[in-house]
Structure 1
Amino acid sequence: MNVLLTGASGLVGSHLLELLVASPHISHIVIAARRSLPSHPKVTCIAAPELADALNQVATPVDLVFCCLGTTRHDAGSTQAFYAVDHDLVVLTGKTGLRLGAEKMLVVSAMGANPRSCIFYNRTKGLAEYALIEQAWPELVIARPSMLLGSRRKKRWTETLSTPFFKCLPGSLRAIRAADVARALMFNALSDNKSAVVVRDSAQLSQDAKHYTV
C-alpha cells in the first residue's frame, strides 16, 4: 500500500513514520512537509515552505492517508495561524488524499473535540473532524487522545506541569504515550472497520496499540 503522511516530524507523526517504514504492508510513503526529512528507500518527501504548496505538488496515487498535524496557539503565533494548521491543513490533507485515490484516512484529533465547544482549541478540532466527515470518506478513523506523553523537541511547560495529574486520571481521560497512538493508528489502518466513521478515545487507542504487531 502507498501512504500519504502529514505531520511526520511531530510527536505522533515521527513514531508513525518509523512504523510505516518497518511495516511489510507499506510499499511507499509520501510525506508532505515544510522541510526535508531524512531519506529512506521507501520514503519520498515533498517539501515546501508552505505545507499547502507541498500537498498540491503530490501526484503519486495513495491508498491510505495519515494526518498527524497539530500545534498550539503559542507555537503557531496567533489564533489565525493555529486554525490554519489544525483545521485548514488537516482538511487539505484529506482533499489531497481523495484526489490521489485514497479510500481510508486516519487523523489525530484531540479529546474534547466538538464543533460547538466554547473552547477555541476543542472547537477547531471539532470543525476539522466535521469537515473530514463531510468529505464522505469510505473509511475515516478519528483518534482523540488525551494528553500525549513523549519527548518533544520543544518543551511545553503547561504540559510538563499537568502531566502527573493526567497520568492518574481514569479511562479515556488518562494521558497516553505518543508511540501508542502511532501503533493504534497502524492497527486501525490495517483493520477492516464496520462503519464509515470510527472515533477512538485514549482508552480505546491504548487497547488498539496492544493489538498491533509488525
Structure 2
Amino acid sequence: MNVLLLGATGMVGQSVLRECLLDPAITQVYTWGRSPISVTHAKLHNFVQKDLTNLGPLQDVLPEIDACFFCLGVSSAGMNEEQYRAVTYDLTMQFARELVRLQPNLTFLYVTGASTDSTEQGRVMWARVKGKTENDLLKLPFKAAYMFRPGGIIPKNGVRSKTGWVQAIYTVTRPLFPLLEKAFPNSITTSVQIGRAMINAARHGYPQPIVEVKDIRKLADA
C-alpha cells in the first residue's frame, strides 16, 4: 500500500507517519506540506508545496496512491468562524475535490474530533464547521472515506504536540497516563492506536464512515 500524508508534523500526523514507516505492508509514504520534515527513511518522500491545493507535483505518483491520511488541522482558539472555516473547511474541500478528480480510486481518511456536530446546527462553532466538512467529504466519490474523531490522545514513542502549552500539559501529566488510559477507555486513545487504526481502516475498511474513540481502539487491534 502506498499512502499520502498531510499534517505530518502535528501530533496525529506524527503518529500516523511513525506507524506507516514501521509497517512492512506500506511500501511508499508521500508527505505533502508547506515545510520539510526532519524524518528520513528509505520509503519516505517529502513534497514541499506552499499551495496545498495545487497537486501538480504529485501527478506522477497519484495513480499509485491507495490512501490519503488528512491529519492537517488547527485549533479554533482565537479564531472567528470565518477564519476557522477558511482553514478547516475551505482548504480541506479544495484539496479533496482536486484529489478525487485526479485519483478517485483511493481511501480518504480525515481527522476531525470527538463531539463533532454532524447536524451543522449546534452552538459550538468548531463542531459545526467540522461537521459540515465531514458531511461534504463523505459526498465525494472516493473509493471509501472515513472521518476519525479522536478525543484525548496520549503521546507515545517521542510523539509531541507542536503547541507549546499543550506539550507542557502532557509533560506535567505524563505520570497519570496509565491511569487515564484505564479510566477513560471511550474518551482517550494513544498515538500508536490512532496510527494503527487509520492504517487498518485504509487497508481493510470499516462498517461505518464515522470512527469514534471506541472504534479507533477496536481498529487499532484489527
Regarding TM over 0.5, the answer is: yes
The CA distance in 1 between the partners of 2:97 and 2:168, in whole Å, is: 32
SS of the counterpart of 1:117? coil
1:22 is matched with which residue? 22
Q: Which amino acid aligns with 1:49?
A: K
Q: Which amino acid aligns with 1:202?
A: V
The CA distance in 2 between the partners of 1:125 and 1:83, in whole Å, is: 9
Verify the 8 A CA contact 2:4 2:69 in the aligned structure 1: yes
SS of the counterpart of 2:41? coil
Unaligned residue ranges in structure 2 (runs of 5+):
none
Q: Give me the CA root mean square deviation.
A: 2.8
In 2 relative to 1, CA 40–158 (structure 1 residues): closer, same or farther, beyond 3 Å?
Answer: closer
1:69 is matched with which residue? 72
1:44 is matched with which residue? 45
In 2 relative to 1, CA 102–156 (structure 1 residues): closer, same or farther, beyond 3 Å?
Answer: farther
In 2 relative to 1, CA 11–65 (structure 1 residues): closer, same or farther, beyond 3 Å?
Answer: same
Matched, 1:177 2:190: yes
How far off is 1:176 after superposition? 2.1
2:169 is matched with which residue? 160
1:209 is matched with which residue? 220
How far off is 1:170 after superposition? 4.5
SS of the counterpart of 1:73? coil
Matched, 1:95 2:97: yes
Identity %: 21
Verify the 8 A CA contact 1:148 1:177 in the aligned structure 2: yes
SS of the counterpart of 2:138? helix
The CA distance in 1 between the partners of 2:85 and 2:196, in whole Å, is: 27
How many residue pairs match? The answer is: 204
TM-score normalised by structure 1 residue count: 0.81
How far off is 1:184 after superposition? 1.0
Verify the 8 A CA contact 1:4 1:97 in the aligned structure 2: no
Verify the 8 A CA contact 1:139 1:193 in the aligned structure 2: no
SS of the counterpart of 1:129? helix
The CA distance in 2 between the partners of 1:159 and 1:132, in whole Å, is: 34
In 2 relative to 1, CA 156–123 (structure 1 residues): closer, same or farther, beyond 3 Å?
Answer: farther
Unaligned residue ranges in structure 1 (runs of 5+):
none
Higher relative contact order structure (alpha carbons within 8 Å, sequence separation ≥ 6): 2
How far off is 1:146 after superposition? 1.2
The CA distance in 2 between the partners of 1:97 and 1:110, in whole Å, is: 22
TM-score normalised by structure 2 residue count: 0.78
How far off is 1:79 after superposition? 4.4
User: Residues 163-200 of structure 1, C-alpha deviation per residue, up to 9 Å, x if partnerless?
Assistant: 88xx487553x222233211111121111434xx5211
How far off is 1:86 after superposition? 1.9
Verify the 8 A CA contact 1:63 1:101 in the aligned structure 2: no
147-156 or 112-121: bigger deviation: 147-156
In 2 relative to 1, CA 159–94 (structure 1 residues): closer, same or farther, beyond 3 Å?
Answer: farther
98-107 or 13-22: bigger deviation: 98-107
SS of the counterpart of 2:69? strand
1:190 is matched with which residue? 203
How far off is 1:11 after superposition? 0.3
In 2 relative to 1, CA 169–97 (structure 1 residues): closer, same or farther, beyond 3 Å?
Answer: farther
Verify the 8 A CA contact 2:104 2:143 in the aligned structure 1: no
Q: Which amino acid aligns with 2:70?
A: C
